[in-house]
A and B are shown apart, each in its own frame.
Chain A
Amino acid sequence: MSVHRVMGIETEYGISVPGHPTMNAMVSSTHIVNAYAQEVIAAGRRKARWDYDLESPLRDARGFDMSRAEADPSQFTDDDLGLANVVLTNGARLYVDHAHPEYSAPEVTNPRDAALWDRAGVLVMERAAALASRNGSSPPINLYKNNTDNKGASYGTHENYLMRRQTPFADIVRHLIPFFITRQVFTGSGRLGIGQEGRSMRYQLSQRADFFEVEVGLETTLKRPIINTRDEPHADPEKYRRLHVIVGDANLCDVATYLKMGTTSLVLAMIEDGALDHVDLMPRKPVSEMHAVSHDTTLGHRVALADGRMLTAIEIQMQLCYLARKYCEEQAAGEIDEQTQDVLDRWSATLTDLSNDPMTCANRIDWVAKLALLEEYRSRDGLDWSAHRLQAIDLQYSDVRHDKGLASRLEARGRLDRLFTDTDVERAMTTPPDDTRAYFRGECLRRYPEQVAAASWDSVVFDIPGHESLLRVPTLEPLRGTREHVGALLDASPTPQDLIAALSVSA
């Protein structure tokens, strides 16, 4: 048992065009994606489109399909034909989703890499926005790695975790609900505003919490559920489920992203192994408790459990953290891998620090870092919580520009801990992870840009001269197509024809 599993993060960015408030967001988002595609991927070369053949966003993990007639049109993912949608050499997908530019990071095998390739996405967006204004196709566009406009709209930062298909979905629901409601104490990015429309100007832990209205469901755009049942594994559905987590905030702190992915992976491992079978932390009213935990920055709120106990979010997290450590120690017989040990240590240290004095986490947890800054402004300038300047700080904290984004400024000052160097992040903008099928996808795009017609999570489609039809190479197994698996094959294939011939022989 460890933090290692196939995972990834997809982020919809907030978008605004200063001075042009009525500009259509689909149009401005398309400028962003096209600018990056044209100038960075390969000037004048073919842009690999997204291959939609295997998308099934209406498949439900509970075992039935929603008919398209019943579905809200915003749930479709394949009718946005014509909107920009490209695959990058780092294995990511960059596209327009529901009037936001979205960066879906490549699949990775561990939380550290998840945080790294997610962060590379911020750099992709910064670069894309700079290119869009430079090529004159649009007025300057600003992008924000946040989740709400504080006026009723929310857009997501989704985590994906590959799980064993045989794990009963009811177990996932029972154990993840209490975990998700309480992990906000370290995953929250902070928000000045209460309620979906930000009617009351008080500060809360999470950008997303107030937008959740039900416990379990398929929707992602309305009546958002704490547990999303979208069952679209992008992999062999007999073996795998992709758990699509929509409750998370967009994090700017490396450590927050890393802890979010690492701790969730550990809890999933315990669920898969039945290690939580005798644990019951289910709140009596999950949705209202989720809001209440987020609204209490003293972290003193007590969650009423179904069995009558009243526990704080930190107490619930400490219990899960303790169980995870104990379980890892038992399973690994003292040989816990380095990253799993690091996640366990940071998890427990952060919980202890939060319980002693949340402000001691201003170096690693977004909601605390932002709150510290807001309090410093309030104290210096005597500002009331309703001051527009404070709301501007809340928003600009997530600006993707390194010279304007306040998280970026705090980081440059050494106030936020970093897990990666600038070089690491720049490299991840163009280089795929070695140890998943993203390696094959990204390397095919880098090596054979003219002949890759399309790609998706589970395919790379070649257009080979002399072949009448397109050749589709399925990549249904996320842990194949790694450097170890296909690196030598790619090196020995100067052309895609060579690669196809070699794959046919080895298949």
Chain B
Amino acid sequence: MSQRESAERRTTKPSDTEETTATRGEAAASADLDSDVDSILDEIDSVLEENAEDFVKSFVQKGGQ
């Protein structure tokens, strides 16, 4: 899936739209799962350390046991 398709899909929440209700069928379960994944990723986006590169590079530990 391209980033763009993915971004568009994320903006569509099944509970908000009539279309989704109309197309409820065998794809519904999978759509629910997708929207669940999207909302988890959105939440994680909001808590993830802002500068990933700095965060990863500055995590330097002394060895332990």
Contact = CB atoms under 8 A, between A and B. Distances in A.
A460 to B, nearest CB: 26
A82 B63 CA distance: 20
Contacts of A148: 61
B27 to A, nearest CB: 18
Interface in A147-185: 148-156, 158
A392 B65 contact: no
A221 interface: yes
B17 interface: no
A376 B49 contact: no
A14 interface: yes
Interface in A222-238: 222
A381 interface: yes
B47 interface: yes
Interface stretch (A96-104, A129-137, A292-300): A96-104
Interface in A403-433: 403-404, 406, 409-410, 413, 415
Q: How large is the interface on B (under 10, 10 to 19, 20 to 34, 35 or more residues)?
A: 20 to 34
A388 interface: yes
Given A391-B52, A396-B48, A220 B65 contact: yes
A155 to B, nearest CB: 3
Contact of A155 (B48, B55, B64): B64
Given A149-B59, A409-B44, A413-B40, A154 B49 contact: no
Contacts of B53: 388
A486 interface: no
Nearest to A412: B43
A389 B20 CA distance: 32
A465 interface: no
Contacts of A305: none
Given A14-B59, A149-B59, A396-B48, A377 B65 contact: no
Given A373-B44, A379-B1, A97 B65 contact: yes
B2 interface: yes
Interface of A: 12, 14-16, 18, 21, 25, 74, 97-100, 144, 148-156, 158, 220-222, 246, 373, 376-377, 379-382, 387-389, 391-393, 395-396, 403-404, 406, 409-410, 413, 415
